[in-house]
Structure 1
Amino acid sequence: MVKATLNALVERLSLTEQDANLSLTNPNRLKTEVLAGLTVALALVPEAVAFAFVAGVHPLVGLYAAFIVGLITAVFGGRPGMISGATGALAVVMVALVAEHGVEYLFATVVLMGVLQLGAGIFKLGKFIRLVPTPVMLGFVNGLAIVIFLAQLSQFQVPGSDHGGGGHGLAGGDWLTGVPLMVMLGLTALTMLIIWGLPKFTKAIPAPLAGIGITAAIVIGFGLEAPRVGDLASIQGGLPGFHIPTVPLNFETLKIIFPYALVLAAIGLIESLLTLNLVGELTGKRGGASQECVAQGAANVVTGFFGGMGGCAMIGQSMINVQSGARTRLAAIMAALFLLSFILFGAPLIEKIPLAALTGVMFMVVIGTFAWNSLRIMFKIPRSDALVIVLVTVVTVQYDLAVAVVAGVIVSALVYAWRSAKRLHISAHDSHTVPGAKTYELDGPLFFASTDNFSELFDIENDPDVVIVDFKRSRVVDQSALQAIEDLAMKYEASGKELRLRHLSRDCHQLLTKAGQLMIDSDDDPEYQIATDYSVKTGAFGGGH
């Protein structure tokens, strides 16, 4: 049921490769990619500026991060269609570091963050994102949709009244009232209406770009008083220059920046890999987790040396890109290049764009991102799954994505462990191969949560002199299970009886030597293959024994 909900979300948003010719020699495809990149770049400007304010740094620090991270991940990332840049999830962690130690320590932290992410990619740790269950994914998209919505509320505050609190746009600014509020609401609604209605008539131009253009033309043409991008800050600047962070190269500096770098690296990779999975569902792509880790790491290392605040994948901008029809790397590359051109040449024009138009675009992203079906099925799915969805959603909004996903995975794992522990069953009968012996056949996994039940299933006092435990339909999972088997063998030995174990996997019987009573036919011993990284080239999982 939960999987069906996620699939419904995907079906509502997706355009697969079969729907379009992805060759860039096709003029229509080229136009779609370029216009999608322009749309994303326009939406990136106020986001990068706002997140820079949240982190307590100059707006250009956010804009440079959006350009550099966006460009490098677009070229080398694991999934065409993804957009990366400065994000609020990272900014709220950075603010304490900047306030206490200054921006140079932030640049050093971003470099170290990138190194950690590179390590995660080199050692292929990205594959562990597959451990995130579907309810956590639903909570992730719902939580991120709410965060994106809350972040837009700052646009309904008086420009300059609040740039720093909380990261969600709810911290103490002066709200618009009267006519300015009505104008802001009206322009936002107009943008949303254009985005909703235009595709019904034509898809020649991305609807979000049309919404921004028409709304901006109305505001400029009629001279309406409405907050504009320039009211946030000037985005005029030059090319980012190479800059080694001016911090002492000693252990004290490492003690300061390492905790922040570790948290930022974890948040950045989790958000990037979950976004990679979601975009993969929308575009019909698979794999690339380790490649995305490497790309994110390289991007942040470079960003730290060029005066940027670092970044990661952005689900909102990625949704804009995909919904605008982008399916190749060109759109993300163009978004980064357009953003740089805005900084260098187009600042006076871009600063005239009304914030209401960009807010309308993001509100439509919120509507498209939120898994509305998850509300309908909440009382139909297992209560544990519903709890995980709500938990991840709430924690994402209240704290940050990394904490939310870790909490969701832990709760899901505990629920799974509890359910699996109750699946361990045993059947006893006289042995067919050893006269006078008794055979116990286990069915279900043996691990830390089921070891107590396992020990209670045997009648040591009344069993015959030879007892056989058959693990053919069971799997010994962890050290707790091995210890439980060894303890059982010693109890039978203390009673003067012989315990024989059959159909144990090789990794288990190699460790169970203390009791010295193993009886295993190596031909019966199963080998278990473990899937590692998915290969995009071969289209298959690599494996090992």
Structure 2
Amino acid sequence: MYHSARLTAFTPKLVTVFGEGYSLGRFRRDAVAGLTVAIVALPLAMALAIASGASPDKGLVTAVIAGFLISALGGSRVQVGGPTGAFVVVVFNVIAQHGYDGLLLATLMAGLMLIVAGYSGLGSLVRFIPQPVVTGFTAGIAVIIASSQVKDFLGLSMKAVPADFIPKWEAYFGALGSVQGVTLAIGVGSLALIVALRKWAPKWPGFLIAVVVAAAIVALLHLPVETIGSRFPNLPTGLPAPALPDVSLAKLQAVMSSAFTIAFLAGIEALLSAVVADGMIGSRHRSNQELVGQGVANLASALFGGLPATGAIARTATNIRAGAITPVAGMMHAVFLLLFVLFGSALMAYVPLAALAAILFMVAWGMSEHHRFIQLLRMPNGDRALLLLTFGLTVLVDLTVAIGVGVTLASLVFMMRMSRTVEIANGRSGEVREGESEEIDQRDALPDGVEVFRIDGPIFFGVANELLDTLRRIGRSPRVVILRMRRVPLLDASGVTTIEEIVRQAASANTRVILSGLQSQPRAMLERVGLGAGSERVVLCEDFPAALRAAAAITAASSGAAHLN
């Protein structure tokens, strides 16, 4: 049974679909959906590549190679993959610091990390990344993407654009006198056309229409506007031959953090996209296989000289709305893009960069999730601080730092909140919970010389010291201390150490410790350190009445021994 379930968990959805039976009618629907998504992805792949500091053909290669494999090997029925805005900042920085070979090596490493993560069963862990962290760095990336397009949108005359956010904007303001009116008009017109089509004709491919119209105007009127052809005069056509980048230990160490960031972002965005797709089609993706598929796709993309790739939420949603029902639709989207790469690459030269900048402004606006951002600002102080800190670090420092600090701070905030839910009570006033038969006052039936404490909640390192301090405040040393632990679902290593310390201190004061109502996990943890059922250092009882009887017997024996002496 276990092996069968594991085999299913790591079976691509494409295999499952073909096992169900795949008809010509299904293929027609998937082919139409694939063509629709390809029309959307075509200008987007080029724009994202340029924004990342690469040539537009790299974006198309990524969409073809990685897009095909993400659909063919992934764990979702309708996922569409390719280059996305989340990678723009990371890719740009890696290329700037380590060259394009460094990016290919980082992408290869990220692909291996994703495969290992998938087969290790880490797909389910991604859902534990808190929303303020995801929204914070996504909104930060959106701001950086939009900022990177100001030069092309305005046609500014600048030798180089600084990489950092504040120096970048200082340079923009310094170059405002060189704004080119024609370029600005093309950019504003393209942006207005995209917005108008989204409002009045949402089913039309607004990005592609804007690019085609802008390219036609520039070409027919011979306008002095920078285009893909003028910036990249020697664009290759077709797909390159696969090749390994140069590998050395020094390079591996240099790009390790970037590879981790790429893998993290790819996993997060792919699984978020798969969850969105599940909600739209009423299906359920296989998260670990999705990570494996993403890993293989990134390996292949790097071998063909492409960019990092992941599941794209907007393209996946477009795929579903266009009628896709199986992974074949995503594979067909890659096939249609391949046809363009083989037979239409020359047309890229006419596309104005200002029109691509307008597309990326729209991408950044969609990524910003401004409604969710504003909503999270109304949350408690911890969530609000987490959101703003992650956002600020993403924009002003570095995406890797933002992710690390955001996740770490989120964990600390969570543990602080969890520690506040743990209650350590000695029963001087208590109440019966629904469905429980415990006494209202657990101290009523206590023999002389016995203290009792009831612990509600997990005992982990965030509350371990508090438990020890509470017990130290007893004052006098009782003959018996009962710890009621039926409501303790979890005991971590720090909690075990604390229980051991309590037992040790009690033994030095000639006090016995009784643990009552242990659940399976805490019992197993205590057995690992010799505090199990056979231990002479502690007494284990199934419930509180049994603990009271054991305490009475201990105190009676102690009194008898004292009387004899």
TM range (shorter): 0.7 to 0.9
SS at match of 2:539: coil
Q: Which moved more, 1:362-371 or 1:160-169?
A: 160-169
| Residue of structure 2 aligned with 1:428, choices 411, 426, 429 | 426
* Offset of residue 44 of structure 1: 0.7
Classify 1:372/1:112 alpha carbon distance in 2 versus 1 (closer, same or farther; 3 Å).
closer
Q: Distance in 2 between matches of 1:500 and 1:321?
A: 58
Classify 1:113/1:282 alpha carbon distance in 2 versus 1 (closer, same or farther; 3 Å).
closer
SS at match of 1:520: strand
SS at match of 1:468: strand
Q: Distance in 2 between matches of 1:219 and 1:59?
A: 19
Counterpart contact for 1:191–1:211, Cα < 8 Å:
yes
Q: Which residue of 2 aligns with 1:111?
A: 108
Q: Which residue of 1 aligns with 2:122?
A: 125
| Residue of structure 1 aligned with 2:314, choices 319, 325, 328 | 319
Classify 1:298/1:26 alpha carbon distance in 2 versus 1 (closer, same or farther; 3 Å).
closer
Q: Which residue of 2 aligns with 1:186?
A: 188
Classify 1:138/1:70 alpha carbon distance in 2 versus 1 (closer, same or farther; 3 Å).
same
* Offset of residue 268 of structure 1: 1.9
Counterpart contact for 1:90–1:268, Cα < 8 Å:
yes
Q: Which residue of 2 aligns with 1:19?
A: none
Q: Which residue of 2 aligns with 1:242?
A: 242
* Offset of residue 164 of structure 1: 7.0
Counterpart contact for 1:476–1:508, Cα < 8 Å:
no
| Residue of structure 2 aligned with 1:137, choices 134, 137, 146 | 134
Letter in 1 for 2:61: Y
Deviation digits for residues 258-305 of structure 1, max 9, x if unmatched? 441x32332122212222243235331654332232123222333343
Q: Distance in 2 between matches of 1:356 and 1:39?
A: 18
Q: Which residue of 2 aligns with 1:484?
A: 498
Q: Distance in 1 between matches of 2:330 and 2:115?
A: 21
Q: Distance in 1 between matches of 2:163 and 2:63?
A: 21
Q: Distance in 2 between matches of 1:433 and 1:154?
A: 79
TM-score (ref. length: structure 1)? 0.77
Q: Does 1:410 align with 2:405?
A: no
SS at match of 1:445: coil
Counterpart contact for 2:101–2:245, Cα < 8 Å:
yes
Q: Distance in 2 between matches of 1:304 and 1:287?
A: 26
Q: Relative to total residues, which structure has the larger helix share, 1 or 2?
A: 2
Identity value in percent: 23
* Offset of residue 217 of structure 1: 4.0
Q: Which residue of 1 aligns with 2:509?
A: 495
Point out the structure with max Rg over C-alpha: 2
Q: Which residue of 2 aligns with 1:48?
A: 49
CA RMSD of aligned residues (A): 3.5
SS at match of 1:111: helix
Q: Which residue of 1 aligns with 2:483?
A: 469
Deviation digits for residues 460-498 of structure 1, max 9, x if unmatched? 543531221011122443211111111111111111111
* Offset of residue 507 of structure 1: 2.4
Corresponding pairs, count: 484
- Consecutive unaligned residues in structure 1, runs of 5 or more: 1-21, 248-252, 525-545
Q: Does 1:519 align with 2:516?
A: no
Counterpart contact for 2:194–2:206, Cα < 8 Å:
no
The correspondence of residues 62-461 of structure 1 with structure 2, limited to 5 A, is 63-79=60-76, 80-85=78-83, 87-95=87-95, 98-99=98-99, 107-156=104-153, 158=155, 165-166=162-163, 170=168, 177-199=179-201, 203=203, 205-234=204-233, 235-245=235-245, 253-260=248-255, 262-283=256-277, 284=279, 286-306=284-304, 308-313=305-310, 318-320=313-315, 322-323=317-318, 325-326=321-322, 327=324, 329-330=327-328, 332-378=330-376, 380-429=378-427, 435-436=447-448, 437-458=450-471, 459-461=473-475
Deviation digits for residues 76-110 of structure 1, max 9, x if unmatched? 234433322384244234236635xxx55654554
Q: Which moved more, 1:330-339 or 1:469-478?
A: 330-339
Q: Distance in 2 between matches of 1:237 and 1:299?
A: 21
SS at match of 1:242: coil
* Offset of residue 48 of structure 1: 1.8
* Offset of residue 383 of structure 1: 0.9
Letter in 2 for 1:239: L
Q: Distance in 2 between matches of 1:322 and 1:445?
A: 41
Counterpart contact for 1:49–1:60, Cα < 8 Å:
no
Letter in 2 for 1:457: T
Deviation digits for residues 419-472 of structure 1, max 9, x if unmatched? 222333223255688754432111233221212221122255435312210111
Q: Which moved more, 1:130-139 or 1:460-469?
A: 460-469
Q: Distance in 2 between matches of 1:413 and 1:350?
A: 47
Letter in 1 for 2:194: M
Classify 1:226/1:281 alpha carbon distance in 2 versus 1 (closer, same or farther; 3 Å).
farther
SS at match of 1:426: strand
Counterpart contact for 1:45–1:339, Cα < 8 Å:
no
Letter in 2 for 1:33: G
